Amino acid sequence: MNLPVLSPSAKAHIKVFLATLLIAGSFPASAHLAPVLHPLSLTLMRFFIALVALSPFVLFDSRKRQSLKKLLPRASLLGLFYAGFFVAMFEALKTTQVLNTASLYTLVPFVTALLAWGIFKEPIKLKKIGVFALGVFGTLWVIFEGDSTRVLELSFYHGDKIFAFGALLMCFYSIGVQYFYREDNPIVLVYGTLVGGCMWMGVGLAVFNIPLEWHLIQDGLVFSMGYLAIGTTLLTLYLLQGATVTLGSVRVMSYVYLNPAVVAFFLFATLGKTIPAVVLPGIVLSAIATLLLQRSKI
């Protein structure tokens, strides 16, 4: 029996969905680690672990080593944006709540679309703006469980401003992947991005004289760091960069609207936490927004 051959587009969508599953667990894992180390040190640690894990697949191949030299300047800038996002997340979670950061993150696709319009002249129609609004509304419905009073009572903290800046860096990262792509080997591009991220974090630690203190990551925190380093740094970076080249930054970032739904089902499957019926309309709206944004006519 011959299995159907998937198109590049279908493969890219599978990659983004897998990345969405991994990202869903990154916010609570980051919240556990944020109070322990300085954000620069935490980000360097997660990037360094991912870099070590990937090194044998790059450094032992002469072609990949040569390719790395050519793309490293471009990848270093991507590493700055990518690492900067995580630094902002760790710092923000010291003075704000996971709920607030999840809410702010839903603005990333719309801002990414605006940047794509300005840089690549990708058209942004009124219909698309309406779909973005639908996605944000659906996501907020899930987060606040359909309770409008909780939205009105939402207070914003200093950390929210920090995370908003980090979300902007993620937009620049997504645009940068599309702008700097030169038919690079995906694994080498990921490796170069990690090298760049480690370099920028190392410079920051040296300039501000911040100690590593990695020995403070113990017990259950080791699992959280491992998940962030391998799951939401290495694997997610590989999946998203490859998918962005095929689908474009806006279509990839639109999957962010599925995060609340993924988290809800994840909690149900692992912890048996019941999904309130009131959040189902929000899950449906978010899914519809994500699907609509995949259409080239929108």
Backbone conformation region of residue 218, classed left if phi is above 0, alpha if psi is from -120 to 50, else beta? beta
Give the containing element (helix H, strand E) for 159. Answer: helix 158-180
pLDDT of residue 40: 96
CB atoms within 10 A of CB 72: 17
Q: Give the Å distances, CA to CA, from 212 to 93, 164, 201.
A: 19, 26, 11
Tokens of 130: 């309406």
Residue 144 φ/ψ region, left for φ over 0, alpha for ψ in the -120 to 50 degree band, beta for the rest: alpha
Task: Give the model's pLDDT for residue 187.
Answer: 87
Integer Cα distance of 38 and 51 in angstroms: 20
Residues, the chain: 298
| pLDDT, position 298 | 61
Report the C-alpha dihedral over residues 198, 200, 206, 211, rounded to 10 degrees.
Answer: -50
Gap between the Cα atoms of 30 and 60, Å rounded: 32
In this predicted structure, what is the pLDDT of residue 99? 65
Question: What pLDDT, on a 0 to 100 scale, did the predictor assign at position 27?
Answer: 75
Amino acid 271: pLDDT: 61
- Alpha carbon of 254 to those of 108, 110, 220: distances in Å? 8, 8, 32
Residues of the chain with pLDDT under 70: 1-4, 99, 122, 143, 145, 150-156, 260, 263-264, 266-267, 270-273, 275, 296-298
Question: DSSP label at 144?
Answer: T
Q: How does pLDDT run across 163-213, given as a tens digit for each residue? A: 889 999 999 998 888 788 777 888 898 899 999 999 999 999 999 999 999
pLDDT in tens, 85-104: 999 999 998 888 776 777 77
CB atoms within 10 A of CB 184: 19
pLDDT at 153: 67
Helical pair 108-120 and 158-180, crossing angle rounded to 10 deg: 40
Q: Return the pLDDT at 5.
A: 74
Residue 59 · residue 175 · CB < 8 Å: no
Fill in the DSSP letter of residue 7: P
Structure tokens at 15: 């990659």
